[in-house]
Chains A and B, each alone.
Chain A
Amino acid sequence: MPLVAGIDCGSGFTKALVAAQDSPGSELRIMGRGRARSGINVDQAASEALEQALAGTAKSDLNYIAATGFGRYNLSFRDIAITEITTAARGAYFLFPHPGAVLDIGSQTTRAIAVKENGRVNTFKSNDKCAAGSGMFIARAAKYLEVPLEQVGELSLHAAHSHPISSVCAVLAESEIINHVSSGVSVEDILRGIHDSLADRAGALLKRVGLNGELTFIGGVAHQQGMVRALKQRLNVKVNVAEDCEYVCALGAALLGLRRLASRN
């Protein structure tokens, strides 16, 4: 049965997902997932991630490799390159098959994607003027507050109040955060403030592409419950999060890979 790999060459991490499917429409079997720091050499990171995802199967058994993400063109052993927006929509729709919107908060960019039935991109919008409202925003704050990134989401859940961050610059926001700290605001409240202001920025993007139906939240930041809660509260929508939310683009790539493969033979 056709065996394909979707490889998401992100700026921070490279994620690989291997899947198999007898025929279009029939059940998809996910064989494995793998993850590696992207670094400078895309091929190297991809091979590493793919190695894990193949879980013993030989790379030569793969019938098709679909690359997506920031470094998709630097992946030498790809069959096709697809943008992470297209694959995000496809992957998200596969996991939560309702038309609606997808929110992808990566380390540098935040993207809102309106998805049509069968997972096609309708419209999309991304913040690419500056890193305001990106995952980096949180990473830097966590670093400053000396909180491990994994705990950020949990902590902000325990906040009593929210202290919004007004600065649009991820770096200048730090001095605001410092001011909060030195005026005795609790770390929890600050983190919640950050999640809230990120949710507001994301909300603005989502409204521009049209937020009707459910919201599927993907990307590493989706692991942070605090962020999920902020989105639910600020936008009052149903928010779906897949437990392997950072593999959604890889999954979408694999799905489209299978389609191309099918259309070939």
Chain B
Amino acid sequence: MAEKPASEYRGSIHQRQKDLMLDWYQRLDHSAETGDPPAVSMMISGNCVELLEGFGAIPLYPEVNALQLAIRHQSLEPILAAEEMGYAGDNCAYVKADIGCMLKGITPTGGRLPKPTLVLCNFVGCNTYVKWFEHVAVYTGAPLNVVDVPFLRSDQPSQADIDYVVRQLKEVVGQMEKLTGRKFDYDRFQQAVAYSSEVEDLWSQIKHLAKNSPSPFDAYFDAITLMGPLYVYRGKREGVEFFRAALNELQQKVRVGEGVYDHERFRVVVEGPPPYPYFRTFRDMFASWNAVAVASTYSTVGGLWEFGFRHDSKTPFESVAMHMLAQNVTNRNYLQRYDQIRRYVQEWKADGLIIHFVKSCRLFSAGQGDMRDYFTKQLGVPTLYIESDLEDPRYFAEAQTKNRIDAFFESLEHSKRTAEHAVRA
């Protein structure tokens, strides 16, 4: 059947984002060549990229490589390679893709990736991270350090939690000084934290623009493309410039009333990572209903800023610790995620919630049936639950997924019409 083509984002920021990321890969390639800048493997979730600035080091995010491959439909080969080594069908496919690439020397851009100076596991809730980086350390022979971030058991972290993380961050600094032979540049670290808080402020304003109807961008599909710069450049001037430009562009759209869709029909909140191997196909399924995502939890794995948190250059270590402990979706507990979504639905005026269960990520997915129960039965929010995977193309059933999405919007359409009719009558 002839699908209506997905809404293309019309504007300059996607291109600028591509350039920034390409530049990042080039610097990684240079690092592989010369060892400068030193590269540090780190995880996206609750990353402490600011700390690296203190050494002029560059972050190496395996997840970004993995998702790039998946979007380019190249993830299956490395996944199979990892499974041949003994990784199970039920292991996180991000890990398998990353390790498969390492063994086969595959990189997203074809350029080289450096051997990390330090494998720095920022353990923020995702237990798979700990295993993943342990394996990376074994295969690369690079030293491993795990920053053990206490999971958020209550609304706010305790002083003991904060002290614990700060102490570990300082241990990392000491270890990095030994490994790089460079002295930790505190001022530069502090400057990075300052840039971060600026970027976070701009990013937060962007997130809030999605409250407009029509929404100027898709807070799931478009937000994901903005996440790269957010994690790689957050502590840099380039980051500030990029997000300022992005904000201006999107504000301009709001002024002229330009949205993702000329006739925005549905506003949804999306929970869970996307099926990267079918990113476009998946987006088309929403586009054919003029359905826009006005908020998403996945766009807050690296940091949750739309509710006010900012890094603080007056207390850089503490605020980095605070960010890792309490201000990213992965280290916050499940009920806090329910509440985050509830606020999205209410404050961003959404018609419904889409829960995308991904086989790979139990952090996101274990318990989403209960989440669904909470939103449908407690709050009466129309909710669609679909299952596939974020990296492994073998788990996406196109016909079934489309069938569910169509049925969901058919029912939303029905109630919308009923309501509109009631108003008219």
Contact = CB atoms under 8 A, between A and B. Distances in A.
CB–CB under 8 A between A and B in the complex? yes
Interface in B44-84: 80, 83-84
Nearest to A200: B80
A204 B394 contact: no
B83 A208 contact: yes
A168 B400 CA distance: 14
B84 A168 contact: no
Given A166-B394, A168-B394, A204 B86 contact: no
B394 A208 contact: no
Interface residues of B, number: 7
A207 interface: yes
Nearest to A211: B84
B346 to A, nearest CB: 39
Interface in B318-339: none
Contact of B84 (A166, A167, A175, A208): A208
Nearest to A208: B84
Interface string B78-108: 0010011010000000000000000000000
Contact of B83 (A166, A168, A175, A204): A204
Nearest to A207: B84
Contacts, number: 12
Nearest to B398: A166
A119 B397 CA distance: 42
Interface residues of A, number: 7
Interface string B358-396: 000000000000000000000000000000000000100
A175 B84 CA distance: 30
A208 B394 CA distance: 18
A194 to B, nearest CB: 17
Interface string A178-194: 00000000000000000
Interface string A141-179: 000000000000000000000000011100000010000
B98 to A, nearest CB: 19
Given A166-B394, A168-B394, A208 B86 contact: yes
Contacts of A208: 83-84, 86
B41 to A, nearest CB: 28
Nearest to B84: A207
A122 to B, nearest CB: 15
Nearest to B86: A208
B376 to A, nearest CB: 27
12 contacts: A166-B394, A167-B397, A168-B394, A175-B399, A204-B80, A204-B83, A204-B84, A207-B80, A207-B84, A208-B83, A208-B84, A208-B86
Interface of A: 166-168, 175, 204, 207-208
Would you list the 5 A-B pairs with minimal beta carbon distance, nearest first? A207-B84, A208-B84, A204-B80, A204-B83, A208-B83
Given A204-B83, A207-B80, A208-B83, 9 more contacts: A166-B394, A167-B397, A168-B394, A175-B399, A204-B80, A204-B84, A207-B84, A208-B84, A208-B86
